[in-house]
Amino acid sequence: MTAPLLVVGAGFAGFWAAVAASRVLDGAVPVTLVAPSPVLQLRPRLYQARPETLGLELRPLLAQVGVGYLAATAIGIDAAASQLPLEDDKRLPFTRLVVATGSVMRRPPILGADLALSIDTQAEAIVVDQRLRALALADASPRIVVVGAGFTGLELVLALRDRLDAHRPGAGNHAQLTLVDRGAWPGQALGEGPCAAIADALAAAAVHLRMGAAVAAITPHGLTLDGGEAIAADLVLLSTGMVAAGFSRQVPSTHDALGRVQVDVDLRAPAAPAVFVIGDAAAADTGDGHLALQSCQHALQLGRVAGENAALDLLGRLTRAYAQPRYVTCLNLGRSGAVFTEGWDRVLVDAGAAMGQRKRDINEVVIYPPVGADRDALLAASRTST
């Protein structure tokens, strides 16, 4: 029996890689997705309420296009033997391997960091939601600190007031919300384009800012900044950036500062020609000199391109260079709607309620696999954007 094309990881990139590979191979070689769970965690939405609903079971979709699923944890790569070692001491042979093992939050090496919570995974987001509910019911003025004013931290802190209100309908809340970050202004990494809209939204949500500050320690009662200032808190939430998940280190290649594999233009690991790396695990040039971000937006295209390329390579056909046809930023601003920018210079397009609807469309339609679509439509959706 022919060894399968394996995809490791059930995130956005891994799912679309598997579907695209199955479309190109058309039954000539089996395709199997390997992951501990067959659930796609909708990480871009985990700042929202009801995180228990933000997972999508992939097995029906995979079966619809002839992709197998194996519940297993990969622990390494034997590129020389074309085998994937698993946690249970088994080894899976492969013809081509696509690594889509994603990212994890970079937990800062500070005293007491384990006392803080995060929304890095669906399970963690559920715990946060439970804590928010308990705080809202127990205290009309809970004190919550979010550490990290990047994309996720901003969406989280700006959603908190409405989430707390939802747990006490009609009662209102006077939660004390604080955002802490080393940067000079919130969302500094996003550039100047959206900064005014972000500042206005934070002011409207009465978020207290502690910018240019680093956290020295987290305690059961709050945190201490590196200058000695203590901030009392009932809950500390971390949103401190992402690094590639540890499995990416198993790929024989050069890795960047985020632990991502530096891949060729066709998303292949240079030192392992049968291995392709995508999503948050890959440092890939988008075709214009920029590196793909650890974002759903880039993962969708990376997955489709790598799935096609792994299958084309297996069939002895020419692969194609990865390119990201368009880059936009759409940041949820809570009750202030959203801000939308175009391009790597993040030129402001619009902000406000109308952009809030656009963000909902992205979160609830654009990034989702087409659940309910027939086989042909699902396969067609795996074609790369140009």
Q: Output the CA torsion sign for 377, 379, 380, 383.
A: positive
This prediction's pTM? 0.95
Q: Output the CA torsion sign for 283, 287, 292, 297.
A: negative
Q: Are residue 176 and residue 305 in the same domain, yes or no?
A: no
Q: Are residue 220 and residue 127 in the same domain, yes or no?
A: yes
Q: How many domains does the chain have?
A: 2
Residue 359 lies in a domain: no
Q: Are residue 268 and residue 313 in the same domain, yes or no?
A: yes
Q: Output the CA torsion sign for 152, 156, 157, 158.
A: positive
Q: What residues are paired with 328 via a beta bridge?
A: 342
Q: What's the one-letter identity of residue 229?
A: E
Residue 27 lies in a domain: yes
Four-point Cα dihedral 279, 280, 281, 284, nearest 10: 70
**How much is the pLDDT for 165?**
83
Residue 363 lies in a domain: no
| Average pLDDT per 10 consecutive residues for the chain, totaling 386 residues | 92 98 97 98 96 97 98 96 95 97 95 96 97 89 96 97 79 84 94 95 96 96 95 97 96 96 98 97 96 96 98 97 93 97 95 95 93 93 83
Q: Are residue 153 and residue 136 in the same domain, yes or no?
A: yes
Burial 285-320 (b: 16+ CB within 10 A, else e): bbeeeeebbbbbbbbbbbbbbbbbbbbbbbeeeebe
Q: Are residue 124 and residue 232 in the same domain, yes or no?
A: yes
Q: Are residue 279 and residue 376 in the same domain, yes or no?
A: yes
Residue 353 lies in a domain: no
**Maximal C-alpha separation, the chain:** 65
Q: Are residue 61 and residue 141 in the same domain, yes or no?
A: no
Q: On the CB side of 181, how many CA atoms lie within 13 Å of its CA?
A: 23
326/316 Cα distance (integer angstroms): 30
β 347-352/338-342 pair status = antiparallel
Q: Are residue 175 and residue 224 in the same domain, yes or no?
A: yes
Q: Are residue 49 and residue 126 in the same domain, yes or no?
A: no
Residue 343 lies in a domain: no
Tokens of 17: 């890689």
Q: What's the one-letter identity of residue 226?
A: D
Residue 251 lies in a domain: yes
26/278 Cα distance (integer angstroms): 22
Q: Chain-centre distance of CA 297, in angstroms? A: 9
**Domain that residue 318 falls in:** 5-105+242-325+370-381
Q: Are residue 144 and residue 163 in the same domain, yes or no?
A: yes
Q: Chain-centre distance of CA 35, in angstroms? A: 16
Closest among 291, 271, 273, 282 to 247, alpha carbons compared: 282
Q: Give the CATH number for residue 135.
A: 3.50.50.60
β 268-269/31-35 pair status = unpaired
Q: On the CB side of 241, how many CA atoms lie within 13 Å of its CA?
A: 13
125/47 Cα distance (integer angstroms): 8
Q: Are residue 89 and residue 132 in the same domain, yes or no?
A: no
C-alpha distances out from residue 192 to 135, 201, 202, 326, Å: 35, 15, 16, 19
375/2 Cα distance (integer angstroms): 24
**How much is the pLDDT for 204?**
95
Residue 362 lies in a domain: no
Q: Are residue 15 and residue 55 in the same domain, yes or no?
A: yes
Residue 334 lies in a domain: no
Closest among 5, 4, 40, 12 to 302, alpha carbons compared: 12
**Domain final residue pick, 238, 265, 298:** 238
β 235-238/143-147 pair status = parallel
